[in-house]
Structures are given as C-alpha cells and as structure tokens.
Amino acid sequence: MIELSAAQVAAATGGRLHADPDVTVTGAVIIDSRQAGPGALFVALPGERVDGHDFAARAVAGGAALVLAERELEGLPTIVVDDTQTALGDLARHVLATVREAAGTELRVVGVTGSVGKTTTKDLLGQLLTPEAGDVEDAVIVPTGSLNNEIGLPLTVLRVTRATRFLVLEMGADGVGNIAYLTGIAPPDVGVVLRVGVAHIGPFGGVEAIARTKGEMVEGVVEGGTVVLNADDQRVAAMVDRAAPGTVVRTFGTIPSADVRAEDVTVDPTGRASFTLRVAGGGDVGEQHVHVALGLVGPHHVTNALAAATVALRLGVAVGDVAERLAAATPRSPHRMAVTERPDGVTVVDDAYNANPDSMKAGLRTLAVLAGRTRRSVAVLGEMRELGDGARAAHDEIGRLVVRLNIKQLVVVGEGAYHIHEGAMQEGSWGSESIYVPDLESAKELLDELLEPGDVVLVKSSLGSGLWELGDHLSAAASSAETAKDNTK
C-alpha cells in the first residue's frame, strides 16, 4: 500500500484516533495476524468463530504499526471505527483515488464479473498484461484465487502503489447491490460481464435478479470507460442499454456480430481448444485475424480467452501478442481445471474450487473429451451449493448428463449431492456405475481402490463441500506411493 500516516487512515475511514497521528503504515494491510510484518496495518474483523480483536496484540508484536478496530484496545495503536469491514472498503477507495489522482499515473483498473469464468479470465488477463508493464514490482496486481467480495476486493486494491499500471479485480455477488458496492470502491476503466447463470441463485431468488446484479458492472465503470460484454449470452448482451452515454462497448463471442470472436473452434484429444481470433476493424484499422491455441484444458475456456483478449486489445496489446500469450497461459489459481498426470497413468482433473450447473456441465464435457474412447472416465462430484429451491432438480440433471455423456464411473460424495446419484440411476446407470458415499474419507478409501492406470478422473464441487481436499489427495497419491517404494529399495 502507499504510505499513510495514522491521521490519514483515520480521516479516510472516519475513525477515532487512539495512536500517535504520525505513526506511518508502510507495509501491507492484513486481516491475519500471522502475516504481520514491519509497518503493517492490521484490520480486526469480527467473525462467527474468530474475532480479529483477540489477535491484534499478536499482530503488533509481529511488526504491525497500526490496528483498525471496532473498540479501543488498551496499549495498542488503534483507530476505532463503527464497522471494520466498511472501513476497509473506505480505505481502499481512498487509496485507489489517491493513486489515480497522482500526476502522470498510468493506472488502469479492470473489473470482471459473471456467474462462471471470473477467476480464469482474471488470471488470463494478468498473463496478457504483465509483459506490457515491464519488470517493475507491483506493476500488475492480480489477486490469487477468488478474492472477490467485500473483504477480498479491498485487500487487493490496497496492494496498489504508484508504480501500478494494471489492477485486475474479480467481483462476485450473492445479492443485488453487491457489484455496485464493489465498483463504488474501485470504479473500473474496463468492466467485463462474462455470463448470467444460476450460480448462487438461492440468495438472489431468480436469474433475472442475477442479471440485474451483474449489470451493475456496466453502470459502475468510470465516465468514458469501456464495457466488455458477452455477445453469446442474451442477458449480457442486453446490458448495453445500461451503459451511460460516452461509454465504449465492445463485445466478444462466437456469433458473427461480436467485435472479437472465435471462429473454427476445434478441441484436441487433450481437451485444449484452438480457434481463429477475428477482431473487427474500426477507423483506419482493418479486420485482423490470428490463430490461437490455448494451453488451458477445457473448451469452455474459449469464452474466457475471448473476454481477456478483448480487454487486452482495448488496453493496447497487439493481436499477435495476445495470441502468443494465450497459448502460453497456465492455470494460476488452485483447483481450477488443474491437470495432474500421475506416475501410475491416472490423470486427475481437479476443478473442486467451485461448482454450479453451468460449470459442472462444462467440466463433465471436458472429462468426456479427455477420456475419449480408449480411457475410463471417472466423475467424482460433490454438492453444488446456494441453488435454493432448485437444488434437487439441478443435481438430478447433472446425474442424468453423466449418463448421456457416457461417463463410465460416477462417484457422488456427501448428502447434499445425493440427487446426482439419484438422477444417474433414473437415467439408466446400473450396478456399480454410480456409487454414493457419505463423506470424504469414504471417497478416499473407495477411489484408492477403484482407480486404475489409464483412468481420467474429474473432481468437482462447490468449495464448501470440501472436495478440494480429495483433489489434493488424488493428485499426490501416486507420487507418495512411488516415494514409499523408492524408500524400500
């Protein structure tokens, strides 16, 4: 973060100063006392199970210069606010505005939202933009994983320095108004809407409410900014009507009218897509086209790549460079279609960070492609959460799709996912083609016995279902076995 005195932090957050006003924050803004270092600002967030105030002294002992808290902490340099989460957002808003107003700043903020694909698109953007910024610390800031809520986004924004050229932010939502709040903290120069789906539909109550919320991105870009919309999704394409006068709108997709589009899409036996990237001309620039071969596994990544390409082109990256960097791009966040080739010949596809009906279908189709006709496909699936009243039907539909895709083996883990097993059985699975197990330990024991050389196994669920632990276990299982064998020689 840029250096701020305690007095400046108090002014930005509306807090009451219980510290030397000249104390200076020179380090990171943190919410975990174990990350404390010299000059840090520790934000004491209260929680259901852990209260950050209980760890403030530890943070100061670790080097933190200042604490942002909801009550005075005796003996500790503290700024007291009514709500630390709100104050965190206020501080992030202040820091970003300060950097943007600095003379000569080149900072551009990119915001990405959508029901699926946010994290991958954000990670792709980081890899497309980093070479443009040069070898300068903090020149490109991209969060690891999905720091996309009212806490994670401000923490990412607060990493900004005066050397930052590109700040790429993922913006998630579980209710109407969430994206508006996040864009209020960090108004994007370029705002991206990927897709409107049924992820987290439970808290929203319906897909139209999801569309209204994702469209808040369009309204949240800076004056004269750019909105990037998925032309293949009718609900997203319709958001053009929410763009303010003077906003530039660019579209991406596979339909002919898209400004940046993919043509002649093919998928190789490893699940990697190739296509012709065609960019519509404008002004004195004619239409451009270039071949793109993605390194990411899964044909659904074509949409993510198109979105990232559209942003990068808008920010001045040459189309040839876009193609080369997309080809070289790799997964940057854990448990996101991470492919492990085990020494015993089993291929593990760990996509257990998140799941909703759309991403689950995409993962299963990728599994079918990877296995082809010669390898056994194994789908290990857990619960898709926050689907509300439609949860049973959504899980049932996934089970039926497993059968239609001719996935050879289905393992359903946990009570919340049971209806995947039920749907598969109703669709025609018989015998042991679909197996239900109640918990992770049962799944580990089963799969350690079940998997054979040549199998391709997909692990997918919502994060809260915990199947990421199973993904780690399966990815490491064979290497551990090999090490044990070596040690007995």
CA distance 238 to 258: 13
Average pLDDT over every residue of 253-274? 95
Confidence of residue 254 (pLDDT cuts 50, 70, 90): very high
Confidence of residue 481 (pLDDT cuts 50, 70, 90): very low
Q: Is the pLDDT of residue 285 over 70?
A: no
CA distance 249 to 267: 30
Confidence of residue 331 (pLDDT cuts 50, 70, 90): confident
**Residue 379 CB burial class (10 angstroms; 0-12, 13-18, ≥19):** buried
Bridge-based pairing of strands 248-253 and 260-267 is parallel
Residue 129 has what pLDDT? 97
Task: Look up residue 308 and give its two tokens.
Answer: 């990232």
Residue 13 has what pLDDT? 98
The rounded mean pLDDT for the chain is 92
CA distance 330 to 120: 10
Domain limits, the chain: 4-87, 106-328, 338-487
Q: Is the pLDDT of residue 486 over 80?
A: no
CB 122 within 8 A of CB 56: no
Confidence of residue 146 (pLDDT cuts 50, 70, 90): confident
Per-residue pLDDT tens digits for 77-92: 999 999 999 999 999 9
Which CATH code for domain 106-328? 3.40.1190.10
Q: Is the pLDDT of residue 260 over 90?
A: yes
Reference 451, options 435, 463, 464; nearest CA is 435
Residue 229 φ then ψ, to 5° = -120, 145
Question: Which residues sit in the known binding site?
Answer: 114-120
Residue 200 has what pLDDT? 61
Please report how the helices 319-328 and 118-133 are oriented relative to each other, as an axis angle in degrees rounded to 10.
Answer: 120
Per-residue pLDDT tens digits for 126-144: 999 999 988 888 999 999 8
Q: Is the pLDDT of residue 96 over 70?
A: yes
Question: Which residues neighbour 175 within 8 Å (Cβ) at sequence distance 6 or greater?
Answer: 203, 204, 213
CA distance 217 to 193: 7
Q: Is the pLDDT of residue 284 over 90?
A: no
User: By percentage, how much of the chain surpasses pLDDT 70?
Assistant: 94
Q: Which fold has domain 4-87?
A: 3.40.1390
3-class SS at 162? coil
Question: Which residues sit in the known binding site for ATP?
Answer: 114-120
Residue 283 has what pLDDT? 54
CA distance 452 to 342: 11
Q: Which fold has domain 338-487?
A: Protein-Tyrosine Phosphatase; Chain A (3.90.190)
CA distance 444 to 34: 32
Amino acid found at 299: P
The secondary structure element, H or E, covering residue 435 is strand 434-437
